[in-house]
Amino acid sequence: MPTDDGPISLGMYISGAFVPSASGREIAVRNPKNGALVGRVAEGDAADIEAAVAAAEAAFPVWSGLSGAERGDILHRAAAILKMRLPEIVGIEVDQIGRPRREMAAQLARLPEWFAYFGAVARTHEDTVPPFGAGYLNYTRRVPLGVVGHVTPWNHPLLILTKKVAPSLAAGNTMVVKPSELAPITPLLLGEVFKEAGVPDGAYNVVPGFGGTAGLALTSHPRIKKIDLTGGTETGKAVAALAGKNLTKVAAELGGKASVVVFDDTDVDRAVSAALFAAFIATGQTCVQGARLLVQRSIHDEVVARLAGRARAIRLGDPQDMATQMGPLVSARQREMTERYVAIGLAEGATLAAGGKRPEGAAFADGFFHEPTIFTNVTNDMRIAQEEIFGPVVCVLPFDTEDEAVALANGTEFGLAMSIWTRDIGRAHRVAHRMQAGIVWINDHHRIDPASPWGGFKMSGIGRENGLIAFEDYTQIQNVIVNLSDAPFDWYAEDGTVKRYS
Ligand code: TXE
């Protein structure tokens, strides 16, 4: 039953302390499974963003003044502390967003790896000594950007934040985080982890709030050196346009419409498990969701029949129950979006092979549940095949040839991720190289690693998370050119010598 006595109450996190917002307003975080209050957090706006930016500026000399090895040690401690706090944090993530405990326990268990990896990068990163003219020593230094802003969504609240915070801290930046209004609790608690690990007060600040107020204030702030955003494509465009006015660097991981491409040499059971995993994890609310299942025609009907049976058998229920395989959508709005697209798909002439409605029963009455849904008889020009639904809906399209598979897979405005399923090693790589996507899995889907670049082509974004590239994107290069000669040089002297300046 919904209750107004949620146990969690947190302020904004600024300069190492939880503080109320200037307005005194709060955001109520509600559990999508039943509307119960999970907690209240302070709701910040422009004034609070200003205070957080000032705190981050004050901490910048302290944090950036440490050596890479010292920052690395602190990040390793953060990894260990986070690991110890995971049981509590997993429970809160499940309550905030409704994703099943079995998913969040598996996902969050990996987060310490990000701090371990970027801690190691901070300790070991080497600069370069590019060639220069004779008589010169020439070297580069990577220096932090300063105060950076992270704007994060609700679908993987702590994973996505960690992907941004670990490299930016490792590189010596300080930061202001504007988490999703739907899932601000765990980003706030990360402040406690950092404090205990030895991150100086003010290096990591969190201002919960809405996109149009706190988000706008952060992304248009003239003293923010980089905005790293994960969200919808329209949000990304708006944020990049505003940031451009201040020449603020932008990284954006945006929408997707990933294809899962199954060639007919794939074992059908394997193909079906792949499609289920790709499409329905996170109730489909993930940017790399395998929302388009492209199946070679000779196995198409068998794959669809088995997929529909398996989708109907997915256990919906209380996300805190380890037996539950699919939870509710995060909000009424996300479920309405799914329902709207189901109606659009039917109107466009697609056929429902499974799902397409809310589950029945008292257990689902107060939550935003929706059945896993499969559309067949889909053509690539349909809106359900083109637009990001961000719900438990997969469209199945048949193909005949490799060329047709590539054309279909590339035939959307998005380019975040794709997966290819085949036993033919030449074809796997050939097709991968033709994919217009930042991430291509071969015989897998959804896999991620802190060392492995993550981000999109086309309208799926700019910049990359993870890997050395993410660390380097949180720095700017300084080139130091040293003349080793003490010989006199006077350009304007008419002394008959041949002079050079390049
Ligand atoms: O995302 P928003 P929403 C897609 C997905 C989903 C749609 C809308 O298709 O259905 O976006 O979801 C902040 N200035 N993805 O509305 O609004 C906002 O407060 C500054 C894909 O939840 O993009 C939140 O912190 N900030 C995606 C963050 O941006 C602004 C994950 C993302 O919210 C802002 C989430 C503004 N003008 C949604 N407007 C993915 N890539 O995984 C919003 N925000």
The string of pLDDT tens digits covering residues 159-183 is 999 999 999 999 999 999 999 999 9
Nearest-CA residue for ligand 1 atom 27 is 231
Could you report the per-residue pLDDT of 296-322, keeping only the tens digit for each?
Answer: 999 999 999 999 999 999 999 999 999
Report, as an integer, the average pLDDT of 176-191: 98
Residue 349 DSSP class:
T
Over 70: is that where the pLDDT of 496 sits?
yes
Confidence of residue 3 (pLDDT cuts 50, 70, 90): very low
Compute, in angstroms, the gap from residue 286 CA to the centroid of ligand 1.
Answer: 12
- Asked whether the whole model's pTM tops 0.85, one would answer yes
Query: What count of other Cβ atoms lies within 10 Å of the Cβ of residue 65?
Result: 10
The confidence score (pLDDT) of residue 488 equals 87
Average pLDDT of the residues in 219-227: 98
Residues noted as catalytic: 164, 253, 287, 465
Q: What is the pLDDT of residue 6?
A: 52
Percent of the chain with pLDDT over 90: 96
**Mean pLDDT of all residues in 267-290:** 98
Ligand 1 neighbours, Cβ below 6 Å, are 151-155, 178, 180-181, 210-212, 215-216, 219, 230-232, 235, 238-239, 253-255, 287, 337, 388, 390
Predicted confidence band of residue 497 (pLDDT cuts 50, 70, 90): confident
Ramachandran category for residue 35: left, alpha or beta (phi over 0 → left; psi -120 to 50 → alpha): left
Distance between Cα 331 and ligand 1 center (Å):
13
- DSSP 8-class letter at 249: E
Residue 502 scores a pLDDT above 70: no
Q: Is the pLDDT at 4 greater than 50, yes or no? A: no
Per-residue pLDDT tens digits for 426-475: 999 999 999 999 999 999 999 999 999 999 999 999 999 999 999 999 99
DSSP 95-124: HHH---HHHHHHHHTTHHHHHHHHHHHHHH
Q: What is the pLDDT of residues 103-152, one digit of tens each?
A: 999 999 999 999 999 999 999 999 999 999 999 999 999 999 999 999 99
The residues, any chain, with a CB within 8 Å of residue 106's CB and separated by 6 or more, are none
- Per the prediction, the chain carries an average pLDDT of 97
State the number of CA atoms in the 13 A half-sphere of 91 facing the CB: 7
**Averaged pLDDT for residues 381-393:** 98
